Amino acid sequence: MLRFDAFVLPLAAAAAVLSIQQPARADTALVAAAGATAFASMWRGDYAAGGTLRGGARFSRVVQIDFQVWESLATVNERADTGLSLGVTGFLPLRGVRPYARLFAIHQHEEGLVSVAAAPAGSLFGIGSGIRHRAGGGLSLGAEVPLPSGHTRPGVSLFAEATTIYFPDPTLGPSAYFGLDLGLSFDLVLR
């Protein structure tokens, strides 16, 4: 039989922890990141490599709204994959390392390299022939390690993250991708 105090005690403990006042930090930072990325998909023998760029704003050192672009070349069907994502990232603002989780929505273009060569301008703007447009979602888990800055701005960090992307329609391409990103992130604190 479930006891009432089995719920009350954990809720009371959580409320006590959340009610402890932390020093107010209204820091807002502009952030940018660039890195190398490698993916594998659900298709057998399908691997991809490329780069990633991210930009956004971080509030109070713990919540970030960002936009990220991936560009990679994949092995199956010799295709270019371009991912455009909008996400929310939550950070644990520790000193030596900042672990984070990013939840995002993604729009991805997948196009054979033959089509890219035939219409490079159309491919750049997502209007070329042969482009498969896909929508999905994903989750990234990672960490930033701040580099010693000597009080210079912007702050520079190394980052590493693991990403999973899911697409609900497997008829247009792989239903899932799994990737690793490594790179540098920059933040400029606005006060």
Rounded CA separation 166/176 (Å):
4
Half-sphere exposure of 111 (CA within 13 A, CB side): 24
List helix spans (H) across the chain: 5-19, 113-118, 120-125
Task: Determine which of 18-22, 37-41, 90-94 has the lowest per-residue pLDDT on average.
Answer: 18-22
Q: Using CA atoms in the order 78, 115, 121, 50, what is the torsion angle rounded to 10 degrees?
A: -10
Q: Using CA atoms in the order 134, 66, 116, 166, what is the torsion angle rounded to 10 degrees?
A: -30
Q: Who contacts 133 (Cβ-Cβ below 8 Å, separation ≥6)?
A: 107, 108, 109, 126
Q: Who contacts 75 (Cβ-Cβ below 8 Å, separation ≥6)?
A: 45, 46, 47, 48
Asked if 87 contacts 71 with a C-beta cutoff of 8 angstroms, the reply is: no
From the list 97, 33, 12, 102, the residue with the least C-alpha distance to 63 is: 102
Residue with tokens 């057998």: 44
Torsion-angle region of residue 6: left (phi > 0), alpha (psi -120 to 50) or beta? Answer: alpha
Domains of the chain listed by start with CATH number: 26-190 (2.40.160.20)
Average pLDDT over residues 34-44: 96
Q: How confident is the model at residue 17 (pLDDT cuts 50, 70, 90)?
A: very low
* pTM across the whole model: 0.80
Other Cβ atoms less than 10 A from the Cβ of 103: the count is 12
As a whole number, the mean pLDDT across the chain is 85
For residue 131, what pLDDT is reported? 84
Q: Is 150 helix (H, G, I), strand (E, B) or coil?
A: coil
Q: How confident is the model at residue 19 (pLDDT cuts 50, 70, 90)?
A: very low
Rounded CA separation 90/59 (Å):
10
